[in-house]
Structure 1
Amino acid sequence: MRRHALSLLAGLLGTLVAPLGLAAETPLTVGDAAPAFTLPDQQGESRSLADYHGQWLVLYFYPKDDTPGCTTEACSFRDNINRLIAQDAAVLGVSMDSVASHAEFAREYELPFPLLADPEGEVVERYGALSDFLVVKFAKRQTFIIDPVGNIAKIYRKVNPEEHVRDVLDDLKVLRGDT
């Protein structure tokens, strides 16, 4: 009887929170194949996961162009781009902002890597990085390191914009076997 009541309660809770975007799908884990995507960058050029086959990819999701935390994170990736390239890693930023918004953000802060526009949040959602509060949707600040064959090698669910790139660089060394 108790097990049945708990099952009913779990089902009811799932029904209540699903419309709020809080329903838990099976999250991606290390070792999973990275979900494929094709999205436009700030120049309107299509970028796909397959374009980065054979190299490491740092795919970072962020809430909004030109906001304090997002600017700090983007500029930190910019300032460390040569160190990332030296580790055979490319960087892609993804948010639900438009191509035009990304173009302005990249121009203003001289960002040397693509920012991908996912205004419908489809890719953001596939990676489990969607915050959906009915009328407001945005990408959570999360990062995935994808290995050269397309599998997820590292996931950062909680990101401190000031320290994140340092962690990514350290983890890339370990993942590549450089330590």
Structure 2
Amino acid sequence: MSGTHILEVGDTAPGFELRGTHDDDSDTYRLSDYTDAGQWVFLMFYTLDFNPICTAGMCAVRDAEFFDLYEDLVPLGVSGDGVHSHKQFATQYSINYPLLSDTGKDVAEQYGVVREEYEGMRRVHQRAVFVVDDTQTVRFATVVDADSAGDIDLGPINDTLQDLLG
């Protein structure tokens, strides 16, 4: 992990503007596009497209029922992979939400989720989830400690969302 402080509940979420892909289209995505529209953002940082643990997590989010329950909660995935990789990943795994490219790790740095080393790679995104409300306030923050794909559990996040949005 970098020496940067991980954002906590109550912190103001830094705004960002990143290139990304959704439904095979490329576009620029801004946090404010969602928050200004009164939406909350389920912001997932993940290490790599096609990494088995990250794939399990991203597919779990794809299948999560809480997005059907909370219409104003929008999932966004962020990693250091490029848009082309994201397109292939989204197509292969039917990811139905935007995947954003933070190739410079600038946004991950601002949120405090850069790992200095992971499996021989330097400066990659730590798996983490932030729920950001429509005032850009962090309402939930957690680092996802998963050593295998079977460790992915959205239950605690679902419980928190019920408390916040239910």
Q: TM-score of the superposition, structure 2-length normalised?
A: 0.85
Tell me the equivalent position of 2:41.
57
- Per-residue CA distance 1:145-165 (angstroms, 9 max, x = gap): 111221000111234464432
Identity %: 32
Greater share of strand residues, 1 or 2? 2
Greater share of helix residues, 1 or 2? 1
Tell me the equivalent position of 2:144.
158
Q: Which has the larger radius of gyration?
A: 1
- Segments of structure 1 that go 5 or more residues without pairing to the other structure are 1-20
Specify which of 90, 100, 103 is matched with residue 87 of structure 2: 103
Over the aligned positions, Cα root-mean-square deviation in angstroms equals 1.9
SS at match of 1:164: coil
Is residue 137 of structure 2 the alignment partner of residue 141 of structure 1? no
**Cα separation, 2, equivalents of 1:165 and 1:135:** 27
Q: How does 1:1-179 map to 2 (within 5 A)?
A: 22=2, 24-42=3-21, 43-53=25-35, 54-80=38-64, 82-87=65-70, 88-133=72-117, 136-160=122-146, 162-176=151-165, 178=166
- Segments of structure 2 that go 5 or more residues without pairing to the other structure are none
Q: TM-score of the superposition, structure 1-length normalised?
A: 0.79
Count, aligned residues = 155
Which letter does structure 1 place at the counterpart of 2:69? A
Asked whether the equivalents of residues 47 and 124 of structure 2 are also in contact (C-alpha less than 8 Å), the reply is yes
Q: Which has the higher contact order (CA 8 A, sep 6+)?
A: 2
Go from structure 1 to structure 2 and tell me whether the alpha carbon gap of 1:26 and 1:77 turns closer, same or farther (over 3 Å shift).
Answer: closer
Measured after TM superposition, the shift of residue 25 of structure 1 is: 3.3
Measured after TM superposition, the shift of residue 50 of structure 1 is: 0.5
